[in-house]
Structure 1
Amino acid sequence: MHGELTTLGIKVAPSTVWEILKQEGVDPAPERASTTWADFLRSQADALLACDFIETVTLNGQRRYILAVIEHATQRVRVLGVTAHPTASWVLQAFKNLVMDLEDAGCRARYLIRDRDGKFPELMDEILAEAGIHTVLTGVRVPRMNAIMERWVRSCRRELLDRCLLWNERHLRHALHEYEAFYNRHRAHQALDQAAPLRAVPDPITDPAGIVDLNVRRRDRLGGVLHEYSRAA
């Protein structure tokens, strides 16, 4: 701006231009041209996946690690597996299965966000790269860079793991399967305008009589830990 004014024969100090821009809330040109992390997430949401490990302990004292992946755009979550020993071979097989599942679902993911956990082997990035998925690492001790995945982890703990007495790994697998189905097909998501990843919002009832005579049924999952409500046919 200072240069353009000079070419017009208008003499003004650079500091004056800076003060005007500051008052108007306009950042310097290099900062306006740069892409922030939030801009990247918004612009690439349809092509973004995120993953993380969740650690839990069953009632028999066994420590188990849960590996899950979530799609940024749809919020659909996939629980890839549960294990006591997240070895490199186990993690690699889990992601090979994920790549095949994404291809079958027609999901065109281009990026996978993950942290720098040592449980992720280097070969995993090569497997994903062969499928056209580039791995994006979060900063050290910056969980907000993987906020959508971390939000799911919090929901899983609050709505399932902290409310269930999980006896062993078999029971944990069953509970996670039920929660995955509940989360993807029924649970209302504010970020999706109360839809679910695999369920659209139904048309609203416009007839007042239809609300008065509405017949609602409840389905309990995991002995009543999770509830699903639907209209009776």
Structure 2
Amino acid sequence: RRRLMHWNVTRHPTQAWVWQQIREATPWGVQPRFLIRDRDRCYGGDFVRRAAALGITTVLSPVRAPQANAIAERGIGTLRREGLDHVRVRSERHLRHVLRDYVAYYNDTRPHQSLGDQPPSGPRTPARRGAAQRLASRPILGGLHHEYFWEAA
């Protein structure tokens, strides 16, 4: 399932910061088999050796070939089209807030066509309308998206 597992923001990523993200993305010691990366300096000189020691094979993407990392590029494109293109980000703190809300929406509410219009968190049991209920909505990203549900009238 296409689920966003971990995200973080920094203005200046360093090798130490990238390693911390790998640790946080795999809190139960389940390491990825592969790490597709670009040629950014934050991967540093001993990055490949450290990854290999953990059993992770690093795959270096070609220069100027974003399609070589299509899964990440698609995820970033979706985030931009459905979220960031419609929000004026005021600060790093605001960006974290927007990303936190969007990731929760993406994983738990947003319908994914490839998953039969269900969210990655799994199929939701459709709520049945009772006699004393009304349709309500919860705004996401300041009303850019909405989640609809039945609630007591």
- TM surpasses 0.5: yes
**Aligned partner of 2:113: which letter?**
Q
Aligned-pair distance for 1:79? 4.0
Equivalent position of 2:9 in the other structure: 82
Decide whether aligned partners of structure 1 residues 144 and 96 sit closer, same or farther in structure 2, where only a CA change above 3 A counts: same
- Percentage identity across paired residues of the two chains: 39
Equivalent position of 1:53 in the other structure: none
Contact in 1 for aligned 2:83/2:141 (Cα 8 Å): no
Q: Which of these residues, 108, 120, 132, is aligned with residue 197 of structure 1? A: 120
Distance in 1 (CA, whole Å) between partners of 2:111 and 2:138 is 15
**Aligned partner of 1:151: which letter?**
R
Equivalent position of 1:220 in the other structure: 139
Contact in 1 for aligned 2:98/2:141 (Cα 8 Å): yes
Distance in 2 (CA, whole Å) between partners of 1:123 and 1:229 is 49
Distance in 1 (CA, whole Å) between partners of 2:35 and 2:112 is 22
Distance in 1 (CA, whole Å) between partners of 2:124 and 2:102 is 20
Contact in 1 for aligned 2:6/2:25 (Cα 8 Å): no
Q: Secondary structure of the residue that 2:149 maps to in structure 1?
A: strand
Q: Secondary structure of the residue that 2:95 maps to in structure 1?
A: helix
**Segments ≥4 residues shifted beyond 6 Å:** none
Higher strand share: 1
Q: Secondary structure of the residue that 2:19 maps to in structure 1?
A: helix
Decide whether aligned partners of structure 1 residues 76 and 115 sit closer, same or farther in structure 2, where only a CA change above 3 A counts: same
Choose 1 or 2 for highest CA Rg: 1
Contact in 1 for aligned 2:31/2:54 (Cα 8 Å): no
Q: Which of these residues, 103, 111, 117, is aligned with residue 40 of structure 2? A: 117
Whether 1:94 and 2:17 are equivalent positions in the alignment is no
**Aligned partner of 1:150: which letter?**
E
Aligned residues: 150
Equivalent position of 1:144 in the other structure: 67
Q: Which of these residues, 83, 93, 96, is aligned with residue 160 of structure 1? A: 83
Equivalent position of 1:185 in the other structure: 108
Aligned-pair distance for 1:124? 3.8
Q: Secondary structure of the residue that 2:39 maps to in structure 1?
A: coil
Decide whether aligned partners of structure 1 residues 88 and 194 sit closer, same or farther in structure 2, where only a CA change above 3 A counts: same
Work out which structure has the larger RCO, using CA pairs closer than 8 Å and 6 or more positions apart in sequence: 2
TM-score by length of 1: 0.55
Distance in 1 (CA, whole Å) between partners of 2:53 and 2:111 is 35
Contact in 2 for aligned 1:217/1:231 (Cα 8 Å): yes
Q: Secondary structure of the residue that 1:119 maps to in structure 2?
A: helix
Decide whether aligned partners of structure 1 residues 188 and 122 sit closer, same or farther in structure 2, where only a CA change above 3 A counts: farther
Decide whether aligned partners of structure 1 residues 120 and 94 sit closer, same or farther in structure 2, where only a CA change above 3 A counts: same
Question: Unpaired runs of 5+ in structure 2?
Answer: none
Which deviations, in whole Å up to 9, do the C-alpha atoms of 1:9-59 show, x marking residues without a partner?
xxxxxxxxxxxxxxxxxxxxxxxxxxxxxxxxxxxxxxxxxxxxxxxxxxx
Q: Secondary structure of the residue that 1:155 maps to in structure 2?
A: helix
**Aligned partner of 2:72: which letter?**
M
